[in-house]
Amino acid sequence: MVSVLSVVPRGALAVPRTAAASVSLSVLSLVGSVGLIGLAAVPAAAAAAPAAPATPAAPALPPPVRPEDRGGDHLTVVVEHAGAGLDGTYEVSCHPGAGNHPDVAGACRVLDSNTRWGRDTFAPVASGGSCTMLYGGPATAHVTGTWAGRPVDASYDRSNGCEIGRWDRMVPLLPRVGSASGSASGPPSDSPSDSLQ
């Protein structure tokens, strides 16, 4: 037989300490040689009350999705000086794709392909490197928001070869723009008309 004493705050009972210590409650019973069967503690009021008829629970509906409740993949892209039809402010959300960006699926695809664990998807060009002195035009872009659970605040331009390459890696999130000479930016071509003279 096991005795159990209740823990009661000091002064809560008017029973002397020696009397409280002598009160014991048998909570376990042994049945035959099988051993311990269980403990059942049911308040007397609950045992005497009839069971209420079961009513089906109404299905729980999720709260409506607000813009601030969306996943962490939401970006705002502001493009300036890129040319007619390219300048503007674009919203893009991924997972699932949404927004007023002209190519939401393509933007999400390029973001996913450029995202690597432990690397900043929007990292600036490393300082101290050698960049070709190409000018890709006056286009600029500013990307803000959240991507992969991290805040984003990245600026882009086309002021040299490194910056042009960084921009082009983000096409179509950023628009494909022409260089100062009017040719479309992108990977170099083998045609003689595109080579420097």
Per-residue confidence band for 37, with pLDDT thresholds at 50, 70 and 90: very low
- Residues 144-150: contacts with CB within 8 Å, 24+ apart? 144/75, 144/76, 144/78, 145/74, 145/75, 145/76, 146/72, 146/73, 146/74, 146/75, 147/72, 147/73, 147/75, 147/111, 147/115, 147/121, 147/122, 148/72, 148/73, 148/115, 148/121, 149/72, 150/72, 150/120
SS3 153: strand
Cβ contact 96:156 at 8 Å:
no
Q: What is the mean pLDDT of residues 130-139?
A: 94
Cβ contact 160:134 at 8 Å:
yes
The reported pTM is: 0.56
Q: What is the pLDDT of residues 140-195, one digit of tens each?
A: 999 999 999 899 999 999 999 999 999 999 999 999 997 544 334 333 333 333 33
Beta strands in 7-54 (DSSP E): 30-31, 35-36
Q: What is the mean pLDDT of residues 62-72?
A: 51
Q: How many residues in the chain?
A: 197
pLDDT exceeds 90 at position 18: no
For the chain, the farthest-separated pair of C-alpha atoms sits apart, in whole angstroms, at 107
Q: Which of 2-6, 19-23, 133-137 has the highest mean pLDDT?
A: 133-137
Percent of the chain residues topping a pLDDT of 90: 49
Cβ contact 83:182 at 8 Å:
no
Per-residue confidence band for 129, with pLDDT thresholds at 50, 70 and 90: confident
pLDDT exceeds 60 at position 17: no
- CA distances in angstroms from 59 to 21, 52, 56, 62, 149, listed in the order given: 50, 20, 9, 10, 32
Please enumerate in sequence order all residues whose Cβ is within 8 A of that of 134, keeping only pairs 6 or more positions apart, or say none.
160, 161, 164, 179
Q: What is the pLDDT of residues 150-163, one digit of tens each?
A: 999 999 999 999 99
